[in-house]
Amino acid sequence: MRPGRWRRAGRWLVGRLLGAVFVLWAVATLIFFAIRLVPGDPAEAILGGPGSQASAEALDTVRRQYGLDQPLLVQYLAQLGRLATGDLGTSYSLRTDVGRLLLDQLPGTIGLALLALVVAWLLAIATAWWATLSGRIASAVSSGLEVVASAVPHFWLASLLILVFSTELGLLPPVSTGTPAGLVLPVVTLAIPVAGFLGQVTRDSLLDAAATPFALSARARGESPSGLFGRHLLRHAALPGLALSGWAFGSLLSGAVVVESVFARPGLGRTLLGAVTLRDIPLVTGVALVSALAYVVVVALGDLAERAVDPRGRAA
C-alpha cells in the first residue's frame, strides 16, 4: 500500500471514531434528560419501582446514596464522567452492574440481528435474481411481495409464523429453546421486512445494471446468465443495499424488542422493555449506548464492505 492510502485510511478511522464519540455523547445526553420528563421519582424506582410505598427515610437515604439530591447539571456531569471511564453504573431494579448485565444479553441480540441480516440479504438476492432472470411477470410479483414484506409489522408476522409453523404444522417450537430450531422463527420474523426493503433497492439497480453496455458485452463474450449475475450485475446492484445495511441493522435492533418478547428470547430488547417499565435509568442508558455503539460499528463495516465491492470508492 502506498503511504497516501495509509493516510486516507487513518483519516477515515479518526473521522469514524470522532463520529462514534459524538453519537454516544448525544445518546447519553438525550436519554439523561428525556427520562426525567416521565413523571415519577427516580428514588422511588430504586425502592421497588412505581407505586412502592417507601418511607421518607428510605427515600432520603437513596437520594443521598445515588446523588439524586444534587442539581440536575451536577448529576449530568457526574454521569458523563462515569460513562467516560466506562462505568455504566448499577441497575436500579436488578441491583447489579449494568455492564455485566449488558455483556450477558448482548451476544444473543447481536447474533440474532446479524443472522437476520444475512438471511435478509439471501432472500433479497434470491428474489432479485428470480426477477431479473424470469421476466416481466416475475418482476411484478416479486415487487409486490417486497412491498408487502417491508410493510408487515414484526408483531403480526411473528404471530402468523407461530400459528402456521408451530400450532398448525408442529414443525418449529413457538418459543425459544436455546436450540437452532428455536432460532428459525425469530430470525425469519426479523429478516422478512428487511429483506423486502433490501430487495426493492437491489432489484431496481439490478435491472439498471442489466441494461448497461458492459452487461451486453459480457453476454456477447458468452457469459452464462448466472455468471453474469454473480460476477457483474450483483456487484453493482448490491451497492445501494450495502449502504443501507447499517440502517437495516438499526431496524433489526429495534425489531428485537418485539421479537424477543414474542419468542421469549433473552436479549437487549427485552432488557430495554423491562428497564423502561421500571424506570431503571442506568439500564435504559446502558442499552441505548450499547445499541448506538453497535449501530456505529455496523455502519462503519457497511462502509468498508461498500469500498471492497466498489473500487471507485477507494480512489475517491
Partner 1 sequence: MRSRLPVLIAATAVASLVLAGCTSGDDPDASSTPVSGGTLTYASGDAEPTCLDPHVGGNYPQALVSTQYLESLVSKDANGDVVPWLADSWEEASDGLSWTFTLKDGVTFTDGTPFDAAAVAANVAHLQDPTTLSSTGYLALGKVTGVEAVDARTARFDLREPDSALLESLSQPWLAMESPDALTRSQEVNCESPVGTGPFAVESWTKQQQVVLTRNDDYSSPPADAGHQGPAYLDEIVWRFIPDSASRYAALQAGQVDVIDNAQPDTLVAAAKDDSLDEIDAPRPGASNRIELNAGKAPFDDPAVREAFIRGVDVDSGIDSLFFGTAKRSYSPLSSVEPLAFSDESLFDVDTDAANDLLDRAGWTTRDADGYRTKDGVRLAATFPVSTNQSIPAEQSLFEQVQAGAKDLGFDVTLEPLDLSSWYGALAANEYDLVSAPYTKVGPDVLRILYDSDGITPAPSGYFANLSQTSDPALDDLLTRASETSDADERADLYQQAQQIILEGWHVLPLYDQQNHYLVRSAVQGVRALPTVQAPTMYDAYEAS
- Closer by beta carbon to partner 1, 48 or else 240: 48
Shortest CB 163 distance to partner 1, Å: 7
- Closer by beta carbon to partner 1, 70 or else 93: 93
Residues forming the site for partner 1 (CB under 8 A): 38-41, 43-45, 47-59, 61, 93-96, 101, 104-105, 158-159, 162-163, 166-167, 170, 173-175, 177, 261-264, 266-267, 270-271, 274, 276-279
Cα→Cα distances 189→54, 137, 141, 165, 196, Å: 42, 27, 21, 12, 12
- Closer by beta carbon to partner 1, 45 or else 298: 45
Shortest CB 69 distance to partner 1, Å: 14
- Closer by beta carbon to partner 1, 103 or else 216: 103
Shortest CB 11 distance to partner 1, Å: 42
- Closer by beta carbon to partner 1, 125 or else 259: 259
Q: Are 92 and 56 in contact (CB under 8 A)?
A: no
Shortest CB 154 distance to partner 1, Å: 12
Determine the Cα–Cα distance for residues 121 and 307; give it in Å rounded to an integer: 18
- Closer by beta carbon to partner 1, 284 or else 294: 284
Is residue 229 classed exposed, middle or buried when 0-12, 13-18 and 19+ CB atoms within 10 A define those classes? buried
DSSP states along the chain: --HHHHHHHHHHHHHHHHHHHHHHHHHHHHHHHHGGGSSS-HHHHHTTSTT----HHHHHHHHHHTTTTS-HHHHHHHHHHHHHTT---B-TTT-SBHHHHHHHHHHHHHHHHHHHHHHHHHHHHHHHHHHHHSHHHHHHHHHHHHHHHHHS-HHHHHHHHIIIIIIIS--S-SS--SSHHHHHHHHHHHHHHHHHHHHHHHHHHHHHHHTSHHHHHHHHTT--HHHIIIIIIHHHHHHHHHHHHHHHHHHHHHHHHHHHHHTT--SHHHHHHHHHHTT-HHHHHHHHHHHHHHHHHHHHHHHHHHHHH-HHHHH-
Shortest CB 150 distance to partner 1, Å: 23
Shortest CB 177 distance to partner 1, Å: 7
- Closer by beta carbon to partner 1, 53 or else 85: 53
Beta bridge partners of 90: 97
Shortest CB 57 distance to partner 1, Å: 6
- Closer by beta carbon to partner 1, 238 or else 290: 290
What count of other Cβ atoms lies within 10 Å of the Cβ of residue 5? Answer: 10
- Closer by beta carbon to partner 1, 120 or else 158: 158
Shortest CB 72 distance to partner 1, Å: 18
Shortest CB 279 distance to partner 1, Å: 5
